[in-house]
Structure 1
Amino acid sequence: MKRLLSLLVPLLLCASAARAQIGSFGDVPIEITSEATRMEGGLAIADRNVIIRHKDTLIYCDYAQYNPDTHDSYLTGNVRIYREGHLFTADRAIYNLETKILNASSFEGDVTPFEFGGESISTLNNNSYIGKDGIFTTSDNSKPDWFLSAKTVRIYPKDRVIFSRVTVYVGQTPVFWYPYLYQSLNVDQSFSFTPGYYSVWGAFVTSQFTFPISDTISGKLRLDLYSQRGIGVGFEMRWGAEKRSATPFIKATETKEEKQARDVQHGENWGHFLSYYIDDSKPGTNETSLARENINPNRYRVSMQDRTFLDTDLYTTVNVTKLSDARFLQDFVPGDFREDPNPDSMIAVTKWDENYSAILMARKQINKDFDGTEKLPEFAFDVKRQPIFGTKIQYDSETSTGMYQRNFANGSLFPDYKSFRADTFQQLSYPGTYFGWLSLNPHMGVRGTFYEDSGFTQQDIQNITTSNTVIGPDGLPVTTKTTTQQINENLIKNGSLFRAAVTAGLEASFKFSREYESVQSRTWGLDGLRHIVQPFMDYSFVYTNRNPEEIYQFDRFTPSTQVPPIDFPQFNSIDSLDNWSILRLGVRNRLQTRRDNTTINWLEMDTYFDIDQHRPDFGNAALLADTGTFSNLYNSIKWSPLPWLGLNIDSQFPVFDHGFTQVNTSFNFQVNRDLTVSIGNRYISGNTQFQNSNLLSFGGYYRINDNWGFTVGEQYEFATSTLEAQTYSFSRDLSSWVASFGINIEDNGGKSTYGVIFTFTLKDLPNVRFPLTLDPSSIAGLGGSSSSK
C-alpha cells in the first residue's frame, strides 16, 4: 500500500546530531513517497515509484536509500533528477540533497539548447559537472542527425561546455576531430572551422576558438591557412555590451549605430579589440582593373573601439585602426572595405546634458596611405535649442577650437596644410503658431571664424625631359629625349584670416487634412483613410566677407547628388561656407490608416525644389553638377500598404532648369508563402561628378517544399552591359541543421572573382556556424570584424 512518510517523525527519534543536521539543512522537511518506505540501520529505504522532494529538487526512481546524517541519496532504476529547470536521468546515481553533488552512470540531461548523455557524470562543484564519454546534440530525434562525441566533457550550466578529444558526427559519419573544443552557452561563434575556395586566396581553411577571459571579457584566437597567401593569425577581445551583442539573445536586426545609441542611453560600457597578421606570399595579387602599388608582405590590422562611462553623463570614446597598407581590407575583409575603406582613428571625452554637450577630441591619421583631416586636439561646445529666460525666443550655438591638419596620402601631388582655428556660431529663433494653423520660425545667426594660417593650392605645370640611350642599327649608341608634362599642386599661403558671416532664414508650414471613413479594403490593408497635406517653405540667406577659396579646407563640402542642408547647425561644412540666397519650396503628403490599434503611414510623398537667387559654389564651381537658377525637382515616395509589400522611390529631375537625372527604386514583394522577390534600380545620368549608371538589382527566395529552398541575387549594369554580381544557392532543411550550397561571382572592372558558398548552420544556435561557410565577404575573422557588427 502506498503511503507518505515525513522524515520529521523518525528523525526526532534519532540522536541529537541528526536533529542538528536538519537544522543546518534549512529546516525544510524531506518528503519521500513510495509504495514501501521503512527505516533500516539508520537509513530511510524507499522502494517502487519513489518520489523525493526537498526545496527545488525533485527526484523520481525505482529504489532509494537516504542517509539523514550525510544527506546522501543512493538512487537506482529510471533515475530522474529535476533541479533549477535542468533534468538529469541515469540508471543509478548518488545525489547529496545538501551539497547538490551528483555522481551518476549511464546519464542523460539537458543544458539549453543542448541535450547530452554519457557513461558517467560527477559534480565538480555546486554549479559544474564533468562527464566521461559524453554525447552532445541539439537534435531531439531518437537518432540525432548530428552530435559531438567527447572523451571528457565539463559542463557549466548557463555558461559554457568544454570538450576534450571530440569528434563531430553528421548522422553516423565522423566529419571533424578536435583535441579541445569550447562552446559558450551565451556567446556566438564559439568555435568555427571553415574550409573553402576563393579566387583571391585559393583554397583556404579558417578556424577560430572562443574562450572566456573573465566574466565580462571574451577572447577569440584565429588561425587561417590560404594556399595562395600563407598563414594568418589573429586575436580578439570583447567586453561589456559589445560582448553581449555577440550573443544570440540580442536583436539580430540591430545595427551597430542602434546598439551604440542604446549603450549611450543606458550608460553601458562596451569594447572590442581586434588584431590580425599574415605573412602574405602574394601581396601583389590584384583582381581589379585598377593599378596596385608595391606592398610589403608583412600585412596586419590592429583596431580598438571602446566606450567607457565615467559617470551617467560623462563618457570616453576610442576608435583606432592601424593598417599595414591601403589594400589590406580590400584583400582580406572585402565586406569592411566596401563599408569603410578609410577607417577613423580618434579618442574623445564627451559630457552630455539635456541642454548642452561638450566634446574634447583628438583625431590622428595613423594610416599614411589615406587622406585625412587631423584634429590635435579639438574642443567643441554645443548648446541645444532652448528658450531664453522663459520667453518664446529660442537660442542655440556651437563653438569649436583646435589645431587642424589636412594630410594627403603618401605620393599625393597635393601638399599638406595646417592651421589653428577658432569658430563660433550663435543663433536666435522665434518659432510660433499663428492664426491657429500657420507655423513660422524666423531665425538669425552670426558666425565668426579665425584661422592662424590660410591659403590655397595652385597648379604648376612642369616640363620634364628624360634621355634614353639605345644601340642603333649601325651598332652605335643613339640618345633620344622625351618631354612630358607633370602637374604639381603648390601651396600659396596668405597668413592669418578672420571670416565673419551673417545668416538669416524663415521656415513656414501649415497642414490641412481630410478623412475618408468609407475607404475600406482588406486586400490593401485600409481601415479608413486620412489625407494630410503639409506645404512648406524654407528661405535661407548667408553673407560672408571671405571666399572659401582663400581658406584652408578642413570641414569641407563633399560632392553629393543631394542638395545640401541650408539651415544651421545642420550645415556643418564650416570652411566651405559661402554666400547664398536660397528658397526651398515643397509639400508633404501623408495617407494614414488604422491597423493593429495604431495609426500607420500607408503612403508618404515629399516633393520639393530650390530657387537659387544666389547659388553657392563652396569655393570650387567644379563641384556643382547643377548651376541653374532652379534645382532639380526632388520627390521621395514610400509606400507600405501591407507587411509583405513595400515600394520606395527617390528621384530628381531637371524640370525647371538644366541639371541631371537620378532615380533610386526598391521594391519588396512576398508573392505568397513560398516566394519573396526584391527588385532595385539605381539610375543617374548627366552628373559631372559621378559616372552615368543604370544598375538593376534582383533578389529572390523560393521555398520549393518543406525541406528545400532556392535563393538568387544579381546586379546588372546597363551603362556598361556588365553583370556585376551573381549569387545562386540552394538550402536544405536537415531537421537540426540548415545546409546551403551556392556560387558567388563578382565582376571587378573586367576581372572576375568567384567563391563557393557552402554552409551548415545549427537551427538552435543560429550564430554558431559549424561551419562550412565559403562566402568570402561574409566570413568574419579573415582579419576582419565580427559578424555581430
Structure 2
Amino acid sequence: MSPVKLFLAKIVSCIILVAAVAVPMVVHGTLNDELKALKPKDFKRLYADSWRAVGGNIIIEGNAYLPVSTMEVYADKIVVNMDNQDFEAVGNVRIFRWQDGSAAVSLKRLAELEKEANMLVRNVSSSLSRLGERTYTAEFSFKSDQIYADRITGNLATGYFSMVNPSIRYTTFTCKASYGERASNGEITLHDAEISSCNYLESDNAHYSIAASEVKLTPPENPFYEIEHAEFKPGDMSVLLFNGMVKIYGVPVLWLPAFFKPRDEHLGLAGMQFGRESDWGFYINLYRTIYFHDAPEITGKLHFDWYEKRGFGYGIDGRIVTPESRTDIFVYSIYDRKQYKTDDYFLYRQDIPHSRYDFRVSNITHITPLTDFRGVFDYQSDPYFKRDFFERLYNHDPQPATFFAMEQQFERFSLSGYMSFRVNDFYTTVEKMPQVRMDIPRQEIFNTGIYYQGDFEAAYMRKKWIEFDEPAPKGYSTLKDYDAFRFDMTHFFYYPIANKYFSLVPRIGFKLTTYSHTSDKEVDDKDLKRMFAAAEPQNMGRYRFNNYDSDGGSKVRFAMELGFELSTKLHNTWQDLRSEFFRIDGLRHIIQPYVNYTFIPKPTLNRKHIYFFDDIDRITKQNFFRFGLINRLQTRSGNNVVNLLYMENYWDIHMEEYDGMSALGNVGTILSWRIFKGLSLNTEFLIDISGDGEIKDTYRHGRNAGKTGLALDWLNYWDINLTYSPAKNWKFSVGYNYVRPYDIRSAYSMGSTLTQINSASYFEQYNTETDESFYIRTNFPITPDERTFGSFQFTYDVKMGSIDTFGFGLLRRFHCWQLMATLEFEREYDYSEKGWDMEVNYSVTANLTGLNDAMNNVQNSVLQELNSSIANIKF
C-alpha cells in the first residue's frame, strides 16, 4: 500500500471517529484504541473513484468507502488539510457500525434472520442433540448505530464540528436536525431538531416525537478536549430542550415547556393507563422511568395518577444498584377523598386518614464475601393503603416488617445480629431489640464419628399487639403487650450409622431457655387462638381471653429430646432412555422411605406460663413417629441433573392422645411433576386420616345452602395447579383451592427438620375459615405475526356458588409502542339491596417501548432467543 493511500485511510478513519463523537456508538475505549484497531486488510478494502493532493489539502472523491474495524464510512467527497487538520466530508455522508455474535437457533429462526435486511448470516453448521433435536449454529452480523448527513466539517485538533441535516441513531433514541454543532467539550447542539425513540423518524414517519428549535446533547464530564483522548460509551448523551412540542404521527398535540432525558435512558420507558374500577371510578395512571446514573446504577419510576372518586396520587419506585448492594425505594402518597370506599373499615375500629401514603426502603449489601447486611423500613399511613391502591404488593406481604440484620460466616459457625421494631401501630409485631445469634452447623467432633450441631441466641423481645382506634366493646377482652429477655441455647449430638442397605442417625440433645419474665396466670391454646383472632385488623373486638401477667418472675426451662431417623435409598437407572416429547435424556428413579422418631419429655416449665414470641416458647411433650416416602424421577439437562418428578408423602402417628385430639396425624403430600414438554403439575394436600372432622353447612347471605363443594370430612387442605404451554406464547392454567376449618396436632423436633404444609408454625397449625374456589387462565396469540395477543381469566367461588370474576385482555404490539386493553366483570353481593351486583371494570394502557422493542428489534430478538448474547450490545 502506498504511503499516500495509508495516510488517506488514517484520515478517513479519523473522520469516522469524529462522527462517533456525535453518535455515541457501542464501543468502549478511546479513539487511540480505535486507531490501533486499524489493520492492513482494512486499507486494502479502501475504495474511491479518485484521490489527489492540492496544496496542503488531500481530496478523496467519488464513492469514497473505507471499513475500519467494525465501522464503515461512505461519502461522495472528503477534503483534509494536512497543516491545520481542517476537514470536510460532503455528499451523502453515511457511517455504520456492525456488531457480531454467534448463537444456536432453530431452522425456522435461522430462516427469519436470513431474511432481515440489516443482518448477515454466515458459517452455518448443524448438530443433533441427545434428544433428537436439530439446532443450527451460525455467526451473525447486523447494523447497529449509524449517522447520515449532507456535510460534516470541523477540525481534528480542536474537536469542533458542524453537521448539515444530520440524522443520527443513538443507542436509546434517534434524532434529526437541520444543523448541528459539536463543541470542543463534547456538547452537541442541534437546531430545528426532532427526537424520538421510534426509528421511523429517519423516514419522517415517526409514531411519536418531540420537536424543538434547539436541543442540547451532553456527554459525561471529560477533562480532555482533544478528540484522541475522548471516551465514548453507549447512550452516553443526555438530552435537554425547552419550548418543545410532542407530536403524534407528525401532528402537534402537547406543548412541553421543558424536557430532560438522562443519559443511558430510553425515551420510550413511559406509559399511560386509562380505565374504570368500581372503587376508583374513572382513573388515569401515568408513569415515567428515568435512569439517573450509571455507577452506581440509579433508576426511578415516577407515578402520577388521578382517580375520579379518590383524588390525585404521586410517587416514585426507585432502585440503586452497585456491585455489592441493591437498595429499593418506594414512596407514594394520595389525598384520598373517600377512604372508606373500598370497605367499611370503620366497622373494624380503624380510622383511615385522608392523607394516605407508604414509604419503604429495603437494602441488601454484601459487605465482604462472608458478610451480608439486610434491612427493611416500611412506614404506612394505615393498614389498608396497599390493599386499596397496590393490591399485588398487599397480597405479597399484607403486614410488612421493619428489621435490620447482619450475618458473618466463619469456617465452622456463623454470627448474626438482628433488630426488629414496630413503626406502624396497626400491626402486631414481635420486637427484638436486639437479637444476637450464633449457629454451628452439623460437624464431626475430632474424627470420632459423633457429630455436633448447636445454636446460641440472646434477645430482648417485646410483643406489641395491634392498636385499634376504638376500644373493644364493653365486657370483652383487650390485648395487653408483654416483654422479656430470653436466652436460648440448643445442643445436639448425632451418631450416623450407614451401610449399603440403610442409614440410621440417632440423636440426643437439649434446649435450655431462660426468661426474665413469665406469667403467673395460665394462657392456654384457646386463649392464644382468641388473642390472634382479636389481633386481626378486620374484627369487631368481641373476644374473651386471658392475658399474660408479669407476676411469674424469671424462670429457666429445660427441654430434652431423643430420636432417630432411619432411611434407605432404592434406585434404578435407564441410561439409554431418551424422548424429546417427555424431555428425557436418561432416567433415574430414586425411592427414599424414612422413619423419624421424636420424643420430648415434658419440659420443666409449662408453656401456659411462658410468654409466646415464637415456636421456641411453645415446646411441649412430643412422642410421635413420622413415616415418609420421597420419590424422585431425574434426567439429564446438559451437564446438570434435574427432577422430572418430586413427591413426598408423610404421616404422623402419635403415641398418646392430647387434648381430645386423635393419635393419628394428618397425611401430607407434596408433588411437583413436569409431565412432558410444556405440561407441569404442582399440588399439595392434607388428609385427616382419622376422619373425625365436621363439615358444617354453608350459609349464603343468611340462607342455608347445605354442604357445598367437596364437603369431605377427611380432606383438610388441597391446592393444585396445572399449567400447559403447547407452543410459543400459548399458556393454559387451571387451579383449584380447598381449605376447611381444621386443627392439627403439633409434630415438632428440635434436632431435625420436618416438612409441613400450609403453616408457618409447627404448633399453631389450624384454620378457622372455609374457602373453595377454582380458576382458569389462558394466554394466546391472535395473529401469526406475534404482535397481537389475547388472554382470558375466570374465577369461581364454590362456597358462594357464583362466578367471582371473569375478564378478557388484548395486547397489540406496534413498531415502537404497545396497546393493552382489559375488560373485567366482578360479581359482588349488595347487602343493603340483598341482591347481586355486576361491577364492570376496564382499562386501556399505552406504553412506549422505544428502539429496543423486544418484538420488533433484530438485536433484541437475537438476545432473547439465542443461546449467546451479541457482543458489546447494551439493552
After TM superposition, the score normalised by the length of structure 1 is 0.77
2:198–2:815 CA contact under 8 A, matched in 1:
no
Check if 1:425 corresponds to 2:490.
yes
Partner AA of 2:689 in structure 1: V
- For 2:862, the equivalent position in structure 1 comes to none
Distance 1:135 1:91 in 2: 18
Check if 1:579 corresponds to 2:589.
no
Change (3 A) 1:709 1:485: closer
Partner AA of 2:51 in structure 1: T
Matching residue within 272, 275, 280 for 1:196: 275
Change (3 A) 1:710 1:218: closer
Change (3 A) 1:504 1:94: farther
Distance 2:205 2:652 in 1: 66
2:268–2:847 CA contact under 8 A, matched in 1:
no
Partner AA of 1:744 in structure 2: E
- For 1:15, the equivalent position in structure 2 comes to none
- For 1:446, the equivalent position in structure 2 comes to 510
Which stretches in structure 2 are left out of the alignment for 5+ residues? Answer: 12-30, 99-143, 220-233, 473-477, 528-540, 694-713, 744-766, 831-836, 856-875
1:369–1:409 CA contact under 8 A, matched in 2:
yes
How far apart are 1:373 and its partner, in Å? 0.6
- For 1:394, the equivalent position in structure 2 comes to 451
DSSP 3-state at the match of 1:574? helix
Q: Which moved more, 1:150-159 or 1:691-700?
A: 150-159
Distance 1:767 1:578 in 2: 60
- For 2:632, the equivalent position in structure 1 comes to 590
- For 1:786, the equivalent position in structure 2 comes to none
- For 2:75, the equivalent position in structure 1 comes to 61
- For 2:190, the equivalent position in structure 1 comes to 131
DSSP 3-state at the match of 1:367? coil
- For 2:818, the equivalent position in structure 1 comes to 738
- For 2:553, the equivalent position in structure 1 comes to 495
Matching residue within 301, 304, 307 for 1:223: 304
Question: How do 1:357-376 and structure 2 match up within 5 A?
Answer: 357-376=414-433
Matching residue within 217, 235, 239 for 1:162: 239
Check if 1:759 corresponds to 2:759.
no
Check if 1:668 corresponds to 2:733.
no
DSSP 3-state at the match of 1:678? strand
How far apart are 1:367 and its partner, in Å? 0.3
How far apart are 1:599 and its partner, in Å? 4.3
DSSP 3-state at the match of 1:5? helix
DSSP 3-state at the match of 1:34? coil
Matching residue within 734, 738, 742 for 1:679: 734
Change (3 A) 1:291 1:182: farther
1:189–1:767 CA contact under 8 A, matched in 2:
no
Deviations 1:339-366 (A, max 9, x none): 1121111123322234322122221111
Question: How do 1:87-486 and structure 2 match up within 5 A?
Answer: 87-97=146-156, 101-123=160-182, 129-132=188-191, 133-139=193-199, 142=203, 144=205, 146-151=207-212, 152=215, 154=217, 156=219, 157-159=234-236, 161-162=238-239, 164=241, 165-172=243-250, 178=256, 179-182=258-261, 185=264, 190-209=269-288, 210=290, 212=292, 215-216=295-296, 217-219=298-300, 221-235=302-316, 237-241=318-322, 268-287=324-343, 291=347, 293-411=350-468, 413-434=478-499, 436-455=500-519
Check if 1:77 corresponds to 2:137.
no
Distance 2:555 2:451 in 1: 31
DSSP 3-state at the match of 2:386? helix
Distance 1:269 1:416 in 2: 36
How far apart are 1:385 and its partner, in Å? 1.8
Cα RMSD after superposing both structures:
3.8
1:741–1:758 CA contact under 8 A, matched in 2:
yes
Deviations 1:99-156 (A, max 9, x none): 6654212222222353443323333567664433123234569575623233125265
Distance 2:800 2:722 in 1: 23
DSSP 3-state at the match of 1:419? strand
2:738–2:773 CA contact under 8 A, matched in 1:
yes
How far apart are 1:666 and its partner, in Å? 0.8
Distance 2:32 2:777 in 1: 64
- For 2:804, the equivalent position in structure 1 comes to 724
Which stretches in structure 1 are left out of the alignment for 5+ residues? Answer: 12-23, 242-266, 462-483, 556-572, 770-789
Q: Which moved more, 1:370-379 or 1:732-741?
A: 732-741
Equivalences, count: 683
Distance 1:127 1:443 in 2: 72
2:503–2:568 CA contact under 8 A, matched in 1:
yes
Change (3 A) 1:315 1:64: same
Change (3 A) 1:57 1:589: closer
Partner AA of 1:428 in structure 2: F
Partner AA of 1:583 in structure 2: F
Check if 1:632 corresponds to 2:696.
no
Question: How do 1:557-568 and structure 2 match up within 5 A?
Answer: none
Deviations 1:432-476 (A, max 9, x none): 422x23122222211111111111576999xxxxxxxxxxxxxxx
Distance 2:86 2:854 in 1: 39
Partner AA of 2:145 in structure 1: H
Distance 1:676 1:46 in 2: 59
Deviations 1:586-641 (A, max 9, x none): 2122233455565443333222211111467xxxx6xxxx9311122222222213
1:5–1:33 CA contact under 8 A, matched in 2:
no
Distance 1:732 1:288 in 2: 39
Change (3 A) 1:390 1:150: farther
- For 2:781, the equivalent position in structure 1 comes to 703
DSSP 3-state at the match of 1:409? coil
Change (3 A) 1:159 1:274: farther
Check if 1:43 corresponds to 2:57.
yes
Deviations 1:224-258 (A, max 9, x none): 333322233334543225xxxxxxxxxxxxxxxxx
Partner AA of 2:217 in structure 1: R
Partner AA of 2:560 in structure 1: V
Q: Which moved more, 1:173-182 or 1:73-82?
A: 173-182
Distance 2:501 2:670 in 1: 25
1:428–1:445 CA contact under 8 A, matched in 2:
yes
DSSP 3-state at the match of 1:351? strand
Partner AA of 2:310 in structure 1: R
- For 1:644, the equivalent position in structure 2 comes to 678
Change (3 A) 1:591 1:447: same
Partner AA of 2:687 in structure 1: F
How far apart are 1:69 and its partner, in Å? 3.5
Partner AA of 2:556 in structure 1: F
Deviations 1:195-229 (A, max 9, x none): 43333223333334435167423455543333322
Distance 1:25 1:670 in 2: 52
DSSP 3-state at the match of 2:423? coil
Distance 2:804 2:372 in 1: 44
How far apart are 1:542 and its partner, in Å? 1.6
Partner AA of 1:353 in structure 2: F
Deviations 1:495-540 (A, max 9, x none): 1111101122211211112345686655444455433221111111
2:453–2:491 CA contact under 8 A, matched in 1:
yes
Change (3 A) 1:753 1:730: same
- For 1:712, the equivalent position in structure 2 comes to 792
Partner AA of 2:334 in structure 1: I
Change (3 A) 1:405 1:764: same
Partner AA of 2:664 in structure 1: F
Change (3 A) 1:593 1:422: closer
Deviations 1:655-706 (A, max 9, x none): 3554551221111113455743110111223526232222101101232222
